[in-house]
Structure 1
Amino acid sequence: MTGNQLNVTRLKYSDPDFDLKLDRLLAWESVSDGAVNNVVTEILQNVKKRGDEAVVDYSNRFDRLDVSSISELELGKEKLQQALDLISEDERNALDTAVQRVRDYHRHQKQDSWQYTEPDGTLLGQQVTPMDRVGIYVPGGKASYPSSVLMNAIPAKVAGVSEIVMVVPTPDAELNPLVLAAAALSGVDRVFCIGGAQAIAALAYGTETIPSVDKIVGPGNIYVATAKRAVFGLVGIDMIAGPSEILVVCDGKTNPDWVAMDLFSQAEHDEDAQPILISTDADFIDQVQFSIDKLLPTMEREPIIRESLVNRAALILVDSLDEAIELTNRIAPEHLELSIENPEQVLPRIRHAGAIFMGRYTAEALGDYCAGPNHVLPTSGTARFSSPLGVYDFQKRSSLIQFSPKGASEMGKVASVLARGESLTAHARSAEYRIIKEG
């Protein structure tokens, strides 16, 4: 190692202590700070009790504002349209393209009601309906993400949600016009310039001005994540997201500069982000290390990327593509790049990943903005049991059951036996009343 080489962790799958080292590298506790929990609990209780007044107080305190009423924190649709009119032509065209692609993709996810009729006339089925109102949390200030607006609001609109309430903090009264423009194009109905745990509390409990919602989605800091976890059950939430992750599986034939920059693309999110490369080619890993050292000084967020690479990144050498796939399923990454020849051949063997980017030209960054699929993805190994945010997250399913007289009689006999086996006599007799007496 040269003196200028960044100390990125290197692991070898065949090493006897590989499992232990990998487990330590992957370990992450998303929301576990006792002090944060205490602060969030106090905020939630205060907003629940005092409503608008508490939200205003917290906004003035945490976002350094000077407002006297909640009405000063709400933006009308004319403000959103004004922001849309003021952005540059290039920005407008980029937003329009992204909106169209995200909407087109999510239309394929929309589920419809269905039913069928059995021979005796019994009808069974499922009725699919949208939620009435959802809240989306969008980070604000300098760390503003118009793409978050698109990815959270558009699936809700496609699902048929009647009202979308967006909350976005505006520290020092700083408004990001791209975020507001994205809200205008995505069909957001109401916007409040509030953030933190107080925004989550307002959406969950409702205040005199801010309506309560059925579900809260969108990324935020540890206070937001802790608040979302606390109100889950009263309202739905999308997920408790950990730091961003990317796993690149490469056969050594992709430009190493491309791979290094793909790792950077997630590392620049924050110091806890986790970029991992798995390759069968030891020389290629050396080339990527060289590219990292060469390109890192050119990055605007170099200190953040550096810390992510030193503390949470890994360059992993495996003996075969089979080992790479086995490791991939174990890690269950948020973003997976299959930077290999014929990625479609190994696709059926990938069981756990939030989003799969196939081929050398499919940079993960395209998925963040304009590919079409949602960029709200499961992190910290939760891709083992979770899915990307989608239209289905804003739809509910109700079972449909309508028995014919004959069907009710036949199934009543079955229900009677099972109910009496559970000593639930009222259940049994309720079913028995519908049994048609013979003769």
Structure 2
Amino acid sequence: MTIDFTLDPEVAELRDRTAAFVRETVLLAELRMLQGAGSPDDVLRRELQQAARAAGVFAPTVSTSLGGLGLDVRGQSVVLEEAGYSLLGPLALHCAAPDEGNMHLLEKVATEAQRERFLKPLAAGDVRSCFAMTEPSPGAGSDPSQLVTTARRTDGGWVIDGRKWFITGADGAAFAIVMARTSGTGGADGVLEATMFLVPVDTPGFRLVRHVPTLDTGFTGGHGEIELSGCTVGDDAVLGEVGKGFAYAQVRLAPARLTHCMRWLGLARRAHDIALEYAGSRTAFGSRLGDLGMVQQHIADNEIDLAASRALIREAAWVLDSGRSGKHETSVTKTFVAEAVGRVVDRAIQVCGALGISGDLPLGAYLREVRAYRISEGPSEVHRWSIARRVLRNRDDTEGAPR
């Protein structure tokens, strides 16, 4: 089957309009943020999202029925790359994590009542959300079968107990999608069933304990630690069906890890452009930096990493648009892109020398942000393990098939 990367004229025009909006509006806001608080707040979020609405670039991943632009995944791949050209671009366009992934999940799984209560205000940018699955040790991290948080039935509802950790956007979120164990013991020898619950943050027993200090600071609401103690919700809080939480996580996982790649590719491109500008204007040893062989190697290697990342993203987007799970393709793409964008930003800093590590350029902030992506959405090591197991399993199935 032929993979078609041709852009519709409307998508190409939206890409160009997004690029102009980010350069003319969002980069200035990013500069102010990096010179000030260093992280976005809800005042800045609302300001930028209003500007994005006025520019006609708001909510590219949200369906048109909810007021978004309704792009398919291939269309998202070019628009989100342009949004990612600034740390604040995805926030402005309302396609940043974790809200982007949560909106996708809710569109697929939520009941009409849940869509009205949770999805509609989220899609409009009126509120923020968070996704609460990760737990402190010995709970679920890279291995979700270690899920410790429990939800037990009561008359007309559920009582949730547990602790969640590194929950992006928790501070200031209106609600959390909480993953809890509803049967089984989990672990290597146990059969675990998990369920997702929609929990408003003002529910008694739901408490934000603290902000977790982290290398990256680019997410509104930071990364929080949450305590759930006797947190009681009704049956209407169950997202989807009881016991199918892990299956619903897959609905969110593949598209969300790919949109992450799209956004970070844009930021890596920005870092590369900064390095190109510097290499083309700075002189050393009687010539431009860009005329020196080692600098040219950095530039060439960046071009290679950017091109390879874009190709993997576009192919994975095509697979998802074709209706397939994309589990393997997005895992390959996530692993490569997470490491490639780090290499690109690191080389850009090297090209810019002392200026690169100074606060006069945003490259240091970019490096801190992209470094975290080798761990979030699944560490590279876990993805490599999963990729290898899948390939070997497919080989064994093929070898055992009748010839």
Give the shorter-chain TM-score range: under 0.3
Larger proportion of helix? 2
Rg comparison, structure with higher value:
1
What TM-score, normalized by structure 1, do the two folds share? Answer: 0.24
